[in-house]
């Protein structure tokens, strides 16, 4: 079994909001994603999708986008992004999966998932201190997301503590590349790998990637990856 990651799918089958208005790199992106996914991922594999899944506003509106994901090979673990307005309670999300027969999809929220000899933790994250527009309201959300990440990390059993993957939607660094409390927590828990999305276009040039304090940081935004799921080498 291989583990892949790709975020920011921004599917627009449920609502009329295609991403190609944001430049040529997004042209025909859903067809490109489908083809590359089918050429890369096998049924026994797992794909982590950390946020910005669908442009739907309500979960009932997102059926077509989730049908698209369900038909793709592999198991999928989805966490929340800043544009996932359809996100609701875990009870309603699980009911949505059950009622539509979506058996290859799971949601991550304050929990974790074991994948062979590794374990996946994570949360949405938020903009980090040091940004020019970081407000008191941002501070509240940021601290709440730190709590959610720790809740997820606390579920890791002793035998898997050396093989933890953290999936965030927002980068754990601010736009100047300075680490946030997410990086501190990742270091304190000895996380092996952190994947994140949210950055697109020219902003990807400011992404912090590579091995930092024994943790591998990787940007997995779909357009940054050329819409090809990235295999994670653990």
| pTM (two decimals) | 0.96
Give the per-residue pLDDT at 26: 87
What DSSP line would sit under 9-54, residue for residue? --B-SSSS--GGGG-GGGTTHHHHHHHHHHHH--TT-EEEEES--B
Give the per-residue pLDDT at 21: 58
**Residue 142, SS3?**
helix
Cβ neighbours for 50, distance < 8 A, ≥ 6 positions apart: 5, 7, 79, 81, 122, 167, 168, 169, 195, 196, 197, 220
Along the 234 residues of the chain, how does pLDDT read in single tens digits? 899 999 999 999 988 776 765 677 888 999 999 999 999 999 999 999 999 999 999 999 999 999 999 999 999 999 999 999 999 999 999 999 999 999 999 999 999 999 988 999 999 999 999 998 999 999 999 999 999 999 999 999 999 999 999 999 999 999 999 999 999 999 999 999 999 999 998 899 989 999 999 999 999 999 999 999 999 998
End-to-end CA distance of the chain: 12
The CATH number given to whatever domain includes residue 201 is 3.60.21.10
Beta carbons of 70 and 102 less than 8 angstroms apart: yes
Count of structural domains within the chain: 1
Give the per-residue pLDDT at 22: 66
Range of the domain at 182: 3-231
Neighbours of 154 (CB within 10 A): 11
Measured CA to CA, the distance from residue 196 to residue 50 in angstroms comes to 7
């Amino acid at each position: 079994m291989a583990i892949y990651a790709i975020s920011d799918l921004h599917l627009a089958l449920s609502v009329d909001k295609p991403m190609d208005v944001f430049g040529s790199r997004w042209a025909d992106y859903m067809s490109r994603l489908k083809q590359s996914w089918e050429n890369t991922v096998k049924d026994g594999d797992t794909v982590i999708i950390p946020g910005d899944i669908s442009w739907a506003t309500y979960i009932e509106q997102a059926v077509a986008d989730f049908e698209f994901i369900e038909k793709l090979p592999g198991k999928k673990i989805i966490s929340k992004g800043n544009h996932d307005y359809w996100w609701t309670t875990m009870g309603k999300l699980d009911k949505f999966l059950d009622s539509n027969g979506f058996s290859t999809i799971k949601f991550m929220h304050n929990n974790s998932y074991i994948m062979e000899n590794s374990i996946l933790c994570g949360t949405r994250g938020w903009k980090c201190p040091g940004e020019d527009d970081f407000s008191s309201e941002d501070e509240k959300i940021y601290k709440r997301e730190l709590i959610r990440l720790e809740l997820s990390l606390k579920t890791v059993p002793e035998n898997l503590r050396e093989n933890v993957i953290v999936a965030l939607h927002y980068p754990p660094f601010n736009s100047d590349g300075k680490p946030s409390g997410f990086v501190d927590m990742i270091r304190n828990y000895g996380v092996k790998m952190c994947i994140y999305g949210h950055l697109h276009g020219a902003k990807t040039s400011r992404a912090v990637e590579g091995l930092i304090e024994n943790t591998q940081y990787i940007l997995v935004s779909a357009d940054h990856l050329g819409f090809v799921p990235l295999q994670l080498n653990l």
